[in-house]
Amino acid sequence: MDSQYSGIANINGEMCSLLEAKIPLSDRGFLFGHSIFETLLVKNGKIVSWDYHFERMLFSCQEAFIKSPNKELLLEWAQNTVNENIKKSGFINKKTQLRIIISGGNSFDLSIKKDQQILPKSNVIIICRNVAGPSQENYLIGIKLKCMPDLRAPALVNIKSCSYLYNLISLENAKKNSFDDALFYNSKNVITESTTANFIWFDENFKVMSHAFQGNCLAGITLTRLITGLEKAKIVFDWNELNRTNIASVMGCAIISSIRGIVPVRQIDEYKFDTHTHNKFFEKLSQALQSEES
């Protein structure tokens, strides 16, 4: 394997090295942020939860006035990109990140449609690269989260939009204060999600909870898989609200996303959690999630 190998890109069906990939300057995603994306886990060479991701992708495309790609063709392109990544890297990585970006096509005009009926042809950009996931230290010790007001556009919360500017600003401000990530709270002081992941917590009875998706945080596919796994493992789950004034009442919490899986949280603002005491329960949560990774 080339020591400089970084991954594979597939642009509208054409494969190339990730470092050599190019898009036109007229791409609407580049010009206006007119694009949506999905990040999928590829486990041992197999794409996880394709149907769920494609369904959310369709919703995002419809809401963003982007022409959605053909499901079968997109799956073929995605799998070809995964296979090419395995070929170029020389091995099947345990965890691989597959990012699919659908942009509104090519146009320097702010208006989307050329006429009143037809959406322009979209651009499909697929990136596949090997990743390590969270470090063992992150998993055993936990990460630190800084609470910040959620000032993102409410209309974009349910859309997997590439417009991540406020998330990036919040993440960097959290790091400036020696935290690992930012944790958003809404106008009612209720915690919703982090900049890149859903948020879960559990009480003294080990009931797992998370904030409801609708209008508050992105409908996380990995969290949905976890809920199914928890039911099979006979661990209680419930939708709930966590006010930042009540953080001290929480026994433990974590963030959850496709690539990182479940990462325990050891601190939110000044509140600290004993991740070591509940390490076995975090392991049960991870096992419940992994049981649904098919």
Of 90, 107, 130, the last residue of a domain is: 130
Structure tokens at 55: 């369904």
* Confidence grade of residue 135 (pLDDT, cut at 50, 70, 90): low
146 inside domain: yes
Q: Using 50, 70 and 90 to split pLDDT, how confident is the model at 219?
A: confident
Distant-in-sequence, close-in-space partners of 171: CB < 8 Å, separation ≥ 6: 181, 182, 195, 196
Domain membership of residue 104 (yes or no) is yes
Percent of the chain with pLDDT over 90: 82
Structural domain ending residue among the three candidates 130, 150, 184: 130
Return the pLDDT at 165.
93
Residue-level pLDDT at 5:
85
Residue 136 has pLDDT above 80, yes or no: no
Same domain, 142 and 122: no
Domain-located, residue 1: no
Instruction: Note whether 157 and 205 are same-domain residues.
Output: yes
Mean confidence (pLDDT) of the chain: 92
The verdict on residue 3 lying in a domain is: no
The answer to whether residues 141 and 281 belong to one domain is yes
Assess whether 57 and 189 both reside in one domain. no
Residue 2 pLDDT > 60: no
202 and 104 inside one domain: no
Same domain, 171 and 280: yes
47 part of a folded domain: yes
The arithmetic mean of pLDDT across residues 162-188, rounded, is 96
Alpha carbons 8 and 126: distance in angstroms, whole number: 8
Reported in sequence order, the residue ranges of 120-232 that DSSP labels E, i.e. its strands, are: 123-130, 143-149, 181-185, 191-194, 198-202, 208-210
First vs last C-alpha separation in the chain:
28
Residue 221, domain member (yes or no): yes
Shared domain for 125 and 173, answered yes or no, is no
Q: Are residues 146 and 113 in the same domain?
A: no
In a domain, 2, yes or no: no
Quick one: pLDDT band at residue 1, thresholds 50, 70, 90?
Answer: very low
SS3 238: strand
Q: Do 178 and 114 fall into the same domain? A: no
Domain boundary among 97, 130, 163: 130
CATH number for 41? 3.30.470.10
Instruction: Give the range of the structural domain holding residue 72, as residue numbers without chain letter.
Output: 8-130
Percent share of the chain, pLDDT over 70 = 95
| Number of domains making up the chain | 2
Residue 116: its pLDDT value, please?
66
